[in-house]
Amino acid sequence: MSGVSRHTVVLGLAAVALSLVTLLGLPTPLQALAAIAVLVLLPGQALTRLMPVTDFALGAMLVLALGLATLTAVSTTMFYLTVWSWQACVVTMGVITILACLARARQEAAK
Amino acid sequence: MSRPLSRHAGGAMTSTLDVVPRTEGRWKAREVWCAVAGVVSLALAVGAASTVAVPVASDLGLVAVLPFPFWVGVLLLNVAFVVALRGDAAGPARRLVMVWLVVVLVLVLFGTAAFVTDVPRGEVAFRHLGIADALSGAQGIDPGIDAYFNWPGFFALLATVLGATGLDPVAVALWAPVVNVGLWLVALGVLTGYLTRDPRRRWLVLWVFCLGSWQDQDYLSPQAFGFFLYLVVIALLLGPLAARAPGFPGFRGFRRADLAAWWRGRVPVESRPGLRVGALVVTLLFVAVICASHQLTPFMVLIAITALTLSGRVWPSRLPLIAVVLLTLWLVYPASAYLIGNPPLAEAGLQGATEANVLDRLSGTAGHVLVVQVRIVLTLVLWALAAAGAVRDWRRGRLDVRVAILAATPLLLFPAQLYGGEMLIRVSLFALPFVAVLACSILLPTAGSTHPAAHAAHGSTHAAAHAAHGSTHAAAHAAAHAAQDPARPSFRAAGALALACFLLAVLTVTGRFGNAQYDVFTDDEIAAVAAVHRLAPPGSSIISAAHPTPWRSEAYLEHRARTIDDMCRSDLSTATCGPLVYDFARHSPGGAVVLLTRSSEASLVLQGAGSARGLDELEEWLSAQSGVELAFSNADARVYRVTP
């Protein structure tokens, strides 16, 4: 897709790769880093990029807040639907990240 | 590096003179020394804290047992911060240095206990781990279990994070205060950026916020998470969702048409509709997550959103209504089980709130009462500084009404609920960021200070006059200097600021860690709790002497947990309380396990609920009853098994 930034592509691919390695399992410190990235940082970054945020501090705050709030919403919903497992949450957050990257790619292609 | 002085286009407080922070160029000696001072401060504080012996022996808490190098580190850190803040004519030290010093402060103030012991402080973090554990093992959410299962958002998050990361839950709880305060400061930094462009003031707000955070609400908890999202929502309301309102028509000669015209005259501050819409959507997400995570925070959010909207300074005017709908939906559906037995305003009343939040806490040993008094004094000092700052800003026409609103509105909740006697603590926490902003008007005055620079900047002072008349070269130099940076504090003002910050730090450490004698647990106590979990069969009761007890971090749903303090609140004497506890234990299905720890006994003694002798008598009587046997003991705990 022409006009799509490298950042968007890397973000989407990172979500796929880190979701897989998190599900497969890594040694403890790496597992923690990968899980935090795929559960909080990548979805937060992908969702924040859907907004025209130019201020670095505002962007950083939104990455953290959106990542944590989205994960809370996803986890809570899964508990109420009795389908919760942390693996299901990892997959869902990975899918959210990829969907947000696709939406961003459409924005970039339309420019 | 400097640029011409300019006025920011925002509200009154944003009219503070702009100063561009230094972000590039060669490092100056002052910056290097400040960064090194931060390293030394951290090393001193960590080294000193790690020598503290547990259990803490003083009823004054950690402040009485921290060795003097800790205080040298705290003093050095505050001096380094003020030196870095003062900087030079181009502004404060570079951002990296300021961030580093704030990081060190967070580690020193909020990580101190983690350097003393590997065990998280307090009982509640353990309980929260147990709830997340119970949730992850349960099918669905049963709101009938207890209040936590009516607001499960944070625990769902915690269960997912612990499951996916594989981190040790106890280590997560141990370092949660540092992480939580870090998140708060990120949001507060953004928020303050919408209130003032003066970098010195922005850094000082973060510093004062940390120095005023004695409330100890940053442990692994829904309220800490909710407070972060609260600050994020406020930052969005002050930033992308802000509105600029024309002058209020006033209350004299007040006409409805004038009010309608004033309301229609509002314009959005953010010119990009995409950012406004995006900010509105994420704000609603945050409000929904807050509603799902904590009982109290949604009300604080609702009050803040409503007050800011009514002030004409928020662009989406229906936001309060949407927030009300979200909150009501949560209360009516997922939280209805709890609310049926606990109507929200059942405990409302100023007198009851005052008794529960202030008077009931002013009891206990002399040291404990002193700690409580220090907390009150620290809060009052900051509120007094904020009030003086607000008056000062108002007299100079620079008061941003939004800050005053956000500092004052949390007080509205004080008489609404006792909240276990903790409402005043929560109120002071929610007000603190904005109290800090207002207090900085006094701590770092940008106009009318004793520094000639500030005088010259306003064109009406001695230094400026001297410079204008060419009376002295020094005055002329000062005025020229002032033209570059009117906000730079004088040496004297900087010295006073460093001293004030150090004193605030001493008060905060005193207040924050004032319960260390009973909320810092020993390894023996943790071993006893592990023994309890082994000894107590499913369905049995676990009885502890009092809160805090580091229990319920596992098998949360398998046992009924009670404390002797709760059972015999009015009378802990052996004659009255002993039979009550014994009968409860004997009649519990599956029997009971009684846990008596050093910390829970210290809690009762310090807070004046019982005496060591009385508790010894109670234990002696209990251990002599039939069906009661000592099953585990060590230096700090005894565990008795009571067969049914």
> How do the domains of chain A map onto residue ranges?
6-110
Question: How far apart, in whole angstroms, are the C-alpha atoms of residue B12 and residue B5?
Answer: 16
Distance from the Cα of B86 to chain A's closest Cα (Å) equals 23
| Of B439, B412, B410, nearest in space to B427 by CA | B410
pLDDT score, position B453: 37
Asked if A78 reaches chain B (Cβ–Cβ under 8 Å), the answer is yes
Question: How far apart, in whole angstroms, are the C-alpha atoms of residue B220 and residue B290?
Answer: 15
Question: How far apart, in whole angstroms, are the C-alpha atoms of residue B617 and residue B621?
Answer: 6
pLDDT score, position B570: 73
Minimal Cβ distance to A57: which of B136, B190, B278 = B190
| pLDDT tens for each residue of B110-168 | 999 999 999 999 999 999 999 999 999 987 899 999 999 999 999 999 999 999 999 99
Apex B290 CA angle, B288 and B291, nearest 5: 65
Do B553 and B466 lie in a common domain? no
Tokens for B277, please give them: 């819409």
Contact B279 A51 (CB under 8 A): yes
Q: How many domains in chain B?
A: 3
Minimal Cβ distance to A79: which of B156, B165, B229 = B156
- Across the range A29-56, mean pLDDT stands at 97
B65: number of Cβ within 10 Å: 20
Q: Does B6 map to a domain?
A: no
Q: Are B245 and B262 in contact (CB under 8 A)?
A: yes
What is the longest distance spanned by two Cα atoms in chain B?
A: 96
Q: Does B3 map to a domain?
A: no
Do B356 and B462 lie in a common domain? no
pLDDT score, position B354: 67
Mark residue B470 as left, alpha or beta (left: phi above 0; alpha: psi -120 to 50; beta: remaining): left
DSSP collapsed to 3 states, B238-282: HCCCEEECCCCCCCCCCCHHHHHHHHHCCEECCCCHHHHHHHHHH
Contact A35 B164 (CB under 8 A): yes
pLDDT score, position B454: 38
| Of B438, B433, B441, B16, nearest in space to B187 by CA | B433
Question: How far apart, in whole angstroms, are the C-alpha atoms of residue B306 and residue B420?
Answer: 26
Question: How far apart, in whole angstroms, are the C-alpha atoms of residue A75 and residue A66?
Answer: 14
Q: The domain containing residue B460 runs over which residues? A: 452-486
Do B424 and B474 lie in a common domain? no
Distance from the Cα of B239 to chain A's closest Cα (Å) equals 9
pLDDT score, position B418: 65
Residue B473, H or E segment: helix B473-484
Do B499 and B534 lie in a common domain? no
What backbone phi and psi angles, to 5 degrees, belong to B543? -120, 125
Question: How far apart, in whole angstroms, are the C-alpha atoms of residue B6 and residue B15?
Answer: 9
Which residues in B lie closer than 8 A to residue A76 (C-beta atoms)? 152-153, 156-157, 292
Peptide linkage before B4 cis (omega within 30 of 0)? no
Question: How far apart, in whole angstroms, are the C-alpha atoms of residue B252 and residue B513?
Answer: 51
Nearest CA in chain B to A79: B140
Do B261 and B148 lie in a common domain? yes
Do B396 and B459 lie in a common domain? no
| Of B523, B560, B518, nearest in space to B543 by CA | B560
Which residues in B lie closer than 8 A to residue A78 (C-beta atoms)? 156
Contact B229 A69 (CB under 8 A): yes
Contact A73 B187 (CB under 8 A): no
Question: How far apart, in whole angstroms, are the C-alpha atoms of residue B495 and residue B505?
Answer: 15
Which residues in A lie closer than 8 A to residue B292 (C-beta atoms)? 72-73, 76
Contact A60 B167 (CB under 8 A): no
Does residue A39 carry a pLDDT above 90? yes
pLDDT score, position B348: 61
**pTM of the predicted structure, to 2 decimals:** 0.91
Mean pLDDT by runs of 10 across the 644 residues of chain B is: 36 42 75 98 97 95 96 98 94 96 98 95 96 92 93 98 97 98 98 95 97 96 98 98 86 75 93 96 98 95 97 96 96 89 66 65 87 94 97 93 96 76 88 97 67 37 42 49 67 94 97 96 97 94 95 94 90 93 93 96 92 93 95 97 92
Q: Are B615 and B572 in contact (CB under 8 A)?
A: yes
Nearest CA in chain B to A18: B164
| Of B244, B324, B234, B317, nearest in space to B283 by CA | B234
Apex B23 CA angle, B18 and B24, nearest 5: 130
Mark residue A54 as left, alpha or beta (left: phi above 0; alpha: psi -120 to 50; beta: remaining): alpha
Do B274 and B211 lie in a common domain? yes
Contact A79 B166 (CB under 8 A): no
**Residues with Cβ within 8 Å of residue A95, at least 6 apart in sequence:** none
Which residues in B lie closer than 8 A to residue A60 (C-beta atoms)? 186
pLDDT score, position B482: 47
**Residues with Cβ within 8 Å of residue B335, at least 6 apart in sequence:** B143, B150, B151, B295
Do B338 and B469 lie in a common domain? no
The answer to whether the Cα torsion of B611, B615, B621, B622 is positive or negative is positive
Distance from the Cα of B557 to chain A's closest Cα (Å) equals 17
Which residues in B lie closer than 8 A to residue A56 (C-beta atoms)? none
Which residues in B lie closer than 8 A to residue A79 (C-beta atoms)? 135, 140-141, 152, 156
pLDDT score, position B461: 36
Which residues in A lie closer than 8 A to residue B190 (C-beta atoms)? 55, 57-58, 61
Mutate to test the interface with A, among B23, B102, B150, B157 (most CBs of A within 10 A): B157
Which residues in A lie closer than 8 A to residue B189 (C-beta atoms)? 57, 61
Q: How far is CA B508 from CA B90, B499, B571, in A?
A: 32, 14, 34
Contact B190 A61 (CB under 8 A): yes
Q: How confident is the model at residue A1 (pLDDT cuts 50, 70, 90)?
A: low
Specify the residue for token string 């060190």: B104
pLDDT score, position B338: 86
DSSP letter at B315 equals S
Do B263 and B240 lie in a common domain? yes
Do B501 and B529 lie in a common domain? no
Beta strands B592-597; B628-634: pairing state: unpaired
Asked if A5 reaches chain B (Cβ–Cβ under 8 Å), the answer is no
pLDDT score, position B458: 39
